[in-house]
Amino acid sequence: MSLQPSEIDRDEVKRLASEFEGAPLTEVLAWLWEKFGERAAIGTSFQGAGLVMIDHALNAGLRFPVFTLDTNLLFPETYELKARLEKRWGITIEGLQPEQTPEQQAAEYGAELWKKGPDVCCTLRKVVPLQKKLSTLAVWITGLRRQQSDTREGAQILGLYHFDVLRDLYILKANPMATWKREAVWDYIKANGLPYNALHDRGYRSIGCWPCTRATDAGENERAGRWTGFDKAECGIHTFLGDSI
Ligand code: SF4
């Protein structure tokens, strides 16, 4: 299902990324649907941009499969939001599970692995489950935005993602929200009455697992509340093997 390097015309991907730079969101999504159908799937952690993107897709009749990385360590508010969105949109959002429960992980690696080895914890609970999912797809669609942080400012609307070095497997990665500003995302959410994570109203601007997320202060970037105390800004799913965001 996934792409081999020889199947990819890298120049064509670059050309399309440039062409899509100023295109409306629905136009990019429609191109992905027409070309790949259900082999393109949206991955979301229920941040605002992902919600806007899924809403645009469904309103245009583009029924991409939707999945989330359920680390089993998400906030109760996040699980509540997932249920509300499924009801509103009439879809099922697949929760990708790690191989181990938090208890099994603690038994093997020690309690609270996120405090001493967050990279290992993220690999076990996010990167590996995502890799398995991507091996069934041709395109991974994300809600990533350039404005979110320094690590994301180079995000392209379409690019390649080398997700499995052992099998040399690639996938197309689409970031159709890359150029969107936070204000435009929230204007859309409010104007359309989309449900959103209740934690946003309590100062949380980027929301991940409860042990590694805090509210942010004015002046901090949107993802500053993730992995406080560590030199870590990404869980690894967007930077695996050093690929571009
Ligand atoms: S964000 Fe924290 S708790 Fe979640 S997988 Fe990564 S290190 Fe573990």
| Cβ proximity of 93 and 85 under 8 Å | yes
pLDDT reported for residue 220: 78
**Annotated catalytic residue: which of 121, 122, 209, 235?**
235
Flag residues of the chain having pLDDT under 50: 241-245
| Cβ proximity of 162 and 135 under 8 Å | no
What's the pTM?
0.92
CA of 228 from ligand 1 middle (Å) equals 12
Contact 17 CB / ligand 1 (< 6 Å)? no
Residue 212 appears among annotated catalytic residues: no
pLDDT reported for residue 108: 98
| Rounded-to-5 percentages of helix, strand, coil across the chain | 45, 15, 40
**Position in ligand 1 atom list of the atom nearest CA 117:** 7
Task: Count the domains in the chain.
Answer: 1
End-to-end Cα spacing for the chain? 22
Contact 209 CB / ligand 1 (< 6 Å)? yes
CATH number at residue 11: 3.40.50.620
Contact 212 CB / ligand 1 (< 6 Å)? yes
Tokens representing 28 are 């990019």
> How far apart are the C-alpha atoms of 140 and 205, rounded to whole Å?
23
Nearest CA to ligand 1 atom 8: 121
**Position in ligand 1 atom list of the atom nearest CA 209:** 4
pLDDT reported for residue 166: 79
CA of 60 from ligand 1 middle (Å) equals 34
pLDDT reported for residue 150: 80
CA of 195 from ligand 1 middle (Å) equals 25
Nearest CA to ligand 1 atom 1: 209
Question: Can you give the residue range of the structural domain that contains 82?
Answer: 5-242
Nearest CA to ligand 1 atom 4: 209
